[in-house]
Amino acid sequence: MLDKYIQIRDRVIIAGQTSGGVWYIKELPAESTKELERLVGECNRICNRYNKKEKVSPTPPSKEKKSKVRM
């Protein structure tokens, strides 16, 4: 008889944000160096997406009053 097992991973990647708005990874558990290297690369891509130097500021609302045209 062949027994089958399920592996449940209870590891969690924990991220944080500094008061300056920079995202970083606090905890990154891995079972091997190869897995760690892959996870670090993925986490860096994700964090870099949110930590771009150029921040887009929302456009301020127009101060002009728009007049309604009646027909």
Question: Could you report the per-residue pLDDT of 32-43, keeping only the tens digit for each?
Answer: 999 999 999 999
Q: Is the pLDDT of residue 67 over 80?
A: no
Q: What is the pLDDT of residues 2-58, one digit of tens each?
A: 676 666 667 788 899 998 889 999 999 998 999 999 999 999 999 999 998 755 555
Yes or no: say if 9 and 27 are a contact pair by the CB < 8 Å rule.
Answer: no
Q: Is the pLDDT of residue 64 over 90?
A: no
Residue type, 61: P
Residues 6 or more apart from 14 whose CB is under 8 A from it? 25, 26, 27
